[in-house]
Amino acid sequence: MSETLVITGAQLVGAESADIIVEGGVITEIGTGLSRAGARVIDADGLVALPGLVDLHTHLREPGYEASETILTGTRAAAAGGFTAVFAMPNTSPVADTAGVVEQELALGEAAGYATVQPIGAVTVGQKGERLAELGAMATSRAKVRVFSDDGFCVFDPLIMRRALEYVKSFDGVIAQHAQDPRLTEGAQMNEGVVSAELGLAGWPAVAEESIIARDVLLAEHVGSRLHVCHLSTAGSVDIIRWAKKRGIAVTAEVTPHHLLLTDDLVRGYDARFKVNPPLRREEDVLAVREGLADGTIDIVATDHAPHPSENKACEWQAAANGMVGLESALRVVHQSMVQTGLIGWADVARVMSATPAQIGRLSGHGTPLEVGRPAQITLYDTSVDGVFTEADLHGRSVNSPYLGRALPGRVEFTVHGGRLTVDGGSLVEGVNA
d(CA 77, CA 203): 32
Exposure of 317 in the CB half-sphere (CA atoms within 13 A): 19
**Residues 269-288 within binding reach of other proteins (CB under 8 A):** 269-270
Residues in contact with other proteins, counted by CB under 8 A, come to a total of 23
Q: Which residues contact 32 (CB under 8 A, 6 or more apart)?
A: 18, 19
Work out how close the CB of 193 gets to other proteins at its nearest, in angstroms, rounded to a whole number.
6
Query: Given the complex with other proteins, which of 318 and 341 has the nearer CB atom?
Result: 318
Minimal distance in Å, beta carbon 312 to other proteins? 7
Note whether 196 binds other proteins by CB under 8 A: yes
Could you please report the per-residue DSSP string of 183-243? GGGTT--EESSHHHHHHT--EE-HHHHHHHHHHHHHHHHHHT--EEE-S---HHHHHHHHH
Would you tell me the crossing angle of helices 206-223 and 235-246 to the nearest 10 degrees?
Answer: 10
Strand 5-12 and strand 40-43: pairing? Answer: parallel
Report how far apart, in Å, the C-alpha atoms of 423 and of each of 191, 301, 362, 404 are.
Answer: 37, 22, 26, 21
Residue (45 or 198) nearer to other proteins, CB: 198
42 or 201: CB nearest other proteins: 201
CB of 263 to other proteins, least distance (A): 15
Out of 32, 318, 340, 364, point to the residue binding other proteins (CB under 8 A).
Answer: 318
CB of 199 closer than 8 Å to CB of 270: yes
Tell which one of 194, 372, 385, 407 touches other proteins (CB under 8 A).
194
Distances (CA, A) of 248 to 20, 217, 229, 409: 39, 10, 16, 37
15 touches other proteins (CB under 8 A): no
Stretch that binds other proteins, among 52-60, 103-111, 312-320, 322-330 (CB under 8 A): 312-320
- Coil, strand or helix: which one is 276? coil
- CA angle, corner 301, sides to 295 and 306, nearest 5? 155
Q: Which stretch binds other proteins (CB under 8 A): 48-56, 95-103, 193-201, 245-253?
A: 193-201
Decide: is 183 part of the binding site for other proteins (CB under 8 A).
Answer: no
Q: Which of 90, 113, 119, 203 binds other proteins (CB under 8 A)?
A: 203
- In this structure, are residues 51 and 22 in contact, taking their beta carbons and an 8 Å threshold? no
Window contacting other proteins (CB under 8 A); options: 47-55, 191-199, 224-232, 365-373: 191-199
Query: In angstroms, what is the minimal distance from the CB of 11 to other proteins?
Result: 44
CA atoms within 13 Å, Cβ hemisphere of 114: 27
Query: For this structure, is 265 an active site residue?
Result: no
User: Which residue's CB is nearer to other proteins, number 111 or number 315?
Assistant: 315
State the catalytic residue, choosing from 97, 304, 348, 393.
304
Selected from 63, 205, 369, 409, the binder of other proteins by CB under 8 A is 205
Helices (H) and strands (E) in the chain, counts: 12, 19
Helix (H, G, I), strand (E, B) or coil at 413: strand
Q: Which candidate, 226, 270, 410, places its Cα nearest to that of 335?
A: 410
Residue 64 near other proteins by CB under 8 A: no
Query: Site for other proteins (CB under 8 A): which residue of 157, 311, 371, 386?
Result: 311
Tell whether residue 201 is a contact of other proteins (CB under 8 A).
yes
Our finding on whether 405 is near other proteins (CB under 8 A) is no
Q: Which residues are tagged catalytic?
A: 304
Binding site residues, other proteins, CB under 8 A:
189, 192-194, 196-203, 205, 269-270, 311-312, 314-319
